[in-house]
Structure 1
């Protein structure tokens, strides 16, 4: 394959533009057709038969020993005979790169059968006897194939193929071929291409198949025949307008496809398919179909697997094709083919963008995910031509900025931030690999319910979410809440890996939720007014929280109170600003959060001050929280809070107010108006914000590291004085 520089030298601007489609890319077929054109130009060059060749099929044989076995046939006399010159009837040699067009190889990708061309590719490390059989089949099988003989009958030089078939009936000639091959290989196995050379004129040279039009046409007809008989069709073809070129042509209905689309068993693309009339539903001309098939190398290079599905992320030029933009596109595709790293096409494209080798405004990306099933069934979902490099990169950057910079996760006070961070958790560390996480789906794997990828299906919400963020489509907040809650419950009840409440998981989920809600991305959508506040971007300060000296605290106040007030007010899903009426769903969500915060706060107190192995957090797990139970849980939690308040007052003599008073007072007001028995909030919504509250409450304590740092600083100052 030509390098980008070689491609540009081989095809100057004017020449390249003459070979490109006239119209912009408007469909997957247009994109595949362009890929196929570029691949053909880069591998087999121009020419009528170039698209039919398969140069990559035997690329691993180039410059290897005994990689080409040639049966040499002289048809210049009255009867065909094997060559009797110094080279002999059979030549065993190296296959070289400059012979691609000469041997005219066209692979037939089937477990059994012969290749479309007279040149045939043997299996790996075939023994001499098998190679001899394949060599003889050039005469006794390919030359008498029905499609080949029909093509020969209609071609003025068809007699050359007829002469091969005639020689194939000569047992002495066949024995000579076999004996010569076995002798020249010396009993050693080999991986080889097998072909023929023919001498047409008495004074002429032996010619390769690719140099003779009759061999090329027979190869072409044999390959085309497979485009109309797939899936047991008799002849799925007819005259129609080619959907790629827009010109009248003979169209085919069962051609192969790099992405397995529009096949007989691909029900989403061909509902109620009549196989014989598939050409009417999806008319593509013979030559266009072949060109589309040649897109496979580039298509495969721009795909990756995740969640049991195959994700396609195919770049294309947006708008009119020019030589400059196509050179850029070819560079992207070439590097994707040559890449041997673990990065996705998205990351590779972004690297090119960072190095200013491509302009994001010039390119769009076709995105889809394909789920394979048994019996050659494929489900296609999430298909769009509107993908942009901007979407996954901006989500990765927004998530990192959120975790690193906003007050919900950061503090420089002697009290903790509302939610914890952890360098060992990718979604809480601001990891530089966040783009890789978004691109591969790891971003959602960490927060969604776990599944067995071997049993994944097209309804897998992880795949839906991945395709959505790649294409800039919004994800339903209901989907996120359901997945988040299922994962929380699974992690909290996993007896084999039980490490307490999954606070870092919940914090990761919330960070993700907020990043998706960013105004610049707009990747969340609600199912109704009650969920709309969740889809709004929070208004947390984009800097660390102020120091204690800067926080206005009333006499007898506590730094935890303004922190809670600020977090609730700056979180649209909880803020009173979004109470549409008294007792609205936002108010109910706030009540669930406050209850969780109190459970987390008192649960932490029980664990560290009371040395209790089972705390309120364990007593009231997320799966136990429902509208019917929330009042009882609240009553028991508040009662336990008052018990510890009285206990501390008795031990210390004085206690300024109720323990966790900043939570208790707000909870009392919220949980009773209206009565939880009359609440309307959905269970997943209720449980997630309860879990978020637990995480908040468990993290609501003095920041010991900050206090230690302040103490060290004070000691240093005193020492200096």
Structure 2
């Protein structure tokens, strides 16, 4: 494959412009065709047959010993015979870069069968007996193929193929050929097998030198586009959906993304595979070009949750030469990233390329989708869009990083931050987040895994959220809260680690980042709208906090009031705020029980997230306040001077929001209530003075 520099030198602006579409890129098929054209130019050059060749299929054989086995046939006499010169009927040599266009290989990607070209690729480490069979089949099988013979009949040099077929019917010739292959090879090898012919006094010719062998190769490859699967002859005259030309179209072309497959009858009700050329018409040459896009498309995809995510770059509008050079450079970099960068997602590669090359963010777009295989030749497609932009995942990564640098996650001078962080938790470590977002780990760490820990189902919120972020679509906040709560409940019963404070903190950081990113990725209606409003933690500095406290306030009170005030979801909804406050009290009392009284079962265990509903919240609140009063009395009896009730800065607000009103009349949704209760638990369990004697041990941070 040409390097970007060589590509630019090989094709001038004018030459490249001839290969470009005359209209804007507007569909996945346009992108595939564009990629296939670039791949063909970079590997086999231009020309009538270039799109049909597969030079990379045997690239690992280049310069390997015994990697090319050549059957040599003399057609210059009255009768076809095997070569009788010094080199003989079988020549075993090295496959080299110079021989790639001469050998003219066209791979047929099937477990059984012969390649489309007369050149055939043997399996890895084939034994001499198998290679001898393949050598004979160049004459006995390929030359007599049902798609090769019609091409020979229509070509003026078709007699060459007929002569090869004639030799293939001669048992003595085939026996001699087998004997020579076995005698020439010293053992098993991986190789290409091809044929050279001599038609006059000139030197022996390679398949790439013979138009008739190339025409036969093209005919055989095209035959697979009309008779694949349940289609027997899916071809006819129609308008090519890519070029707009009225031409012969085919309906069962191979698709690198596995779209529009003949076996997907349940996806296309009433679909007739033989009539696919009418419903999905692609010209023969365009279909082949789509297939050539596979190398670039595969490089711009990656697996996560059992699905394959495609992130295909293109430039908005009608392609010009300069945009195409830069697109090729981006695709080339993605295909050939070195070992030190291996493992980067295409998104990270594109992001680095964009920064290094100063690309126009508004012009660089991405096709985004996720394809989930269910069984052979059956796939589901998630979240298809043409309007993906690198800014979408990048802005989310930036918003998450910035949130962790606010007072919500940074300790003050006298008291811990509202929520915990930890270096062993990637969503709480203030590190690079683009890779986490792109890979799917960003949602793997916060959303439930369902029946399978890694593979997503058709309605799995992890894959839906990932595709939404990559494509700039919105995620219903109701779905997110329900998923968060499900994950919290999954882990709350873990006796070893207890309540998952770091998980909840990660979820909340993600929720805020999704709201604060540009564009915002959350969608909500009615009372949930404040949840998708970005918090304003960054507007309140540590010096503000210190000044307030030194002016006479209590650090715990000021911290709680500031957090609520700066969180729109809490500041504008008394029911949600009450849920959070209840969690904060239960978490604070639970932490007190554990660290002051060494109790293994605390109030947090007594009132888990799944136990909190609108019907029970008043009872839970009364129990939590009663327990708080009990501990206050115990401390006073023990000689501690207490001006009021322990945790009264929480208790007083709870009396106003839960005890006096009737929660039975609340409108808050259960998932909404439970998530903010869990957030309150995390807040309360993390809330303590920053003194050497008062910092308790935290839950095991490695359960990430």
Where do 1:52-63 residues align within 5 Å?
Answer: 52-63=52-63
- 1:91 maps to 91
Q: Gaps spanning 5+ residues in structure 1: where?
A: 579-585, 709-721
RMSD: 1.7
Report the CA distance between 1:338 and its aligned residue. Answer: 1.0
Does residue 555 of structure 2 align to residue 559 of structure 1?
A: yes
**Aligned residue for 1:622?**
609
Contact preservation (8 Å) 2:309, 2:369: yes
Contact 1:412 1:546 in 2 (8 A): no
Aligned 1:616-655 pairs, distance under 5 A: 616-652=603-639, 654-655=641-642
Aligned positions of 1:153-168 closer than 5 A: 153-168=153-168
Match of 1:551, SS state, is helix
Following superposition, the deviation at residue 103 of structure 1 comes to 1.4
Paired residue secondary structure (1:321) = coil
* Number of aligned residue pairs: 691
User: Which residue does 2:584 correspond to in 1?
Assistant: 597
Shift of 1:319: 1.5
CA offset at residue 672 of structure 1? 3.8
Once the two structures are TM-superposed, the CA of residue 174 in structure 1 deviates from its matched residue by 1.3
| TM-score, length-scaled by structure 2 | 0.95
Residue 540 of structure 1: aligned partner: 537
Cα distance in structure 1, aligned partners of 2:674 and 2:109: 53
Which residue of structure 1 lines up, in the alignment, with residue 700 of structure 2?
Answer: none
- Correspondence for 2:643 among 640, 643, 656: 656
For residues 80-479 of structure 1, what are the structure 2 equivalents within 5 Å?
Answer: 80-186=80-186, 188-201=187-200, 203-266=201-264, 270-339=268-337, 340=339, 341-356=342-357, 358-404=359-405, 406-432=406-432, 434-451=433-450, 452-453=452-453, 455-479=455-479
What's the secondary structure of 1:473's corresponding residue? coil
TM-superposed deviation, 1:16: 0.8
Q: Is the 8 A contact 2:456 2:463 kept in 1?
A: no
Rate the CA distance shift 1:550–1:357 in 2: closer, same or farther, 3 A. closer
Deviations 1:407-452 (A, max 9, x none): 21123321122111212211111112x1110110111111111342
Contact 1:347/1:439 (8 A) holds in 2? yes
SS for the counterpart of 1:198 is: strand
Answer whether contact 2:688 2:694 (CA < 8 A) is retained. no
Shift of 1:361: 3.0
Quote the residue 1:610 is aligned against.
Answer: 597
- Distance of aligned partners of 1:372 and 1:653 in 2 relative to their CA distance in 1, 3 Å threshold: closer
CA distance in 2, matches of 1:150, 1:445: 55
Q: Does the aligned pair in 1 maintain the 2:617–2:663 contact within 8 Å? A: yes
CA offset at residue 707 of structure 1? Answer: 9.8
- Asked if the contact 2:396–2:517 (Cα under 8 Å) also holds between the matched residues in 1, the reply is no
SS of residue paired to 2:593:
helix
Q: Is the 8 A contact 1:39 1:298 kept in 2?
A: yes
TM-score, with structure 1 as normaliser = 0.93
The alignment partner of 2:63 has SS state of coil
Which residue does 1:712 correspond to in 2? none
Q: 2:22 corresponds to which residue?
A: 22
The CA distance in 2 between the partners of 1:296 and 1:200, in whole Å, is 37
Q: Offset of 1:454 from its aligned partner?
A: 5.7
> Counterparts of 1:270 and 1:700 in 2: how far apart (Å)?
57
Q: CA deviation at 1:458?
A: 2.1
Call closer, same or farther: CA 1:37–1:269 in 2, change over 3 Å.
farther
Report the Cα offset of residue 544 of structure 1.
3.8
Q: 2:547 aligns to what?
A: 550
Secondary structure of 1:564's aligned partner:
helix
The one-character-per-residue Cα deviations of 1:325-365 (angstroms, maximum 9, x if unpaired) are: 11111111111111240111111111112222643233111
Q: Is the 8 A contact 1:410 1:544 kept in 2?
A: no
Q: 1:662 to 1:65 in 2, by over 3 A?
A: same
Deviation at 1:453, TM superposition (A): 4.7
**C-alpha distance in 2 between matches for 1:570 and 1:543:** 8
Match of 1:529 in 2: 526
Q: Paired residue for 1:66? A: 66
Q: What is the rounded CA distance, in whole Å, between the counterparts of 2:264 and 2:692 in structure 1?
A: 59
Distance 1:653 1:491, change over 3 A: closer
CA shift in 2, pair 1:299/1:504, >3 Å: same
For 1:594 and 1:255, how far apart are their aligned partners in 2?
A: 61
- Structure 2 contact 230–263 (Cα < 8 Å) conserved: no
Aligned to 1:11: 11
Instruction: Name the structure 2 match of 1:581.
Output: none
Alpha-carbon distance in 1 for matches of 2:42, 2:530:
53
Deviations 1:661-685 (A, max 9, x none): 1111111111146411222211111
Equivalent residue number for residue 583 of structure 1: none
In structure 2, C-alpha distance between the alignment counterparts of 1:160 and 1:132, rounded to whole Å: 22
Rounded to whole Å, the distance in 1 between the matches of 2:263 and 2:684 is 54
Would the alpha carbon gap of residues 431 and 653 (structure 1) be closer, same or farther in structure 2, given more than 3 Å must change? Answer: closer
24-33 vs 269-278, which deviates more? 269-278
In the TM superposition, residue 562 of structure 1 has moved relative to its aligned partner by 1.8
- 2:701 alignment counterpart: none
Whether contact under 8 Å (2:395, 2:517) holds in the other structure is no
Asked whether the equivalents of residues 305 and 455 of structure 2 are also in contact (C-alpha less than 8 Å), the reply is no
User: How far apart in 1 are the matches of 2:2 and 2:43?
Assistant: 7
Q: Residues 628 and 676 of structure 1 are in contact (CA less than 8 Å); yes or no, is this contact kept in structure 2?
A: yes
Secondary structure of 2:601's match? coil
- Return 447-456 or 288-297, whichever deviates more: 447-456
Q: Secondary structure at the match of 1:704?
A: coil
Q: How far is 1:519 from its partner?
A: 5.8
Structure 1 contact 261–269 (Cα < 8 Å) conserved:
no
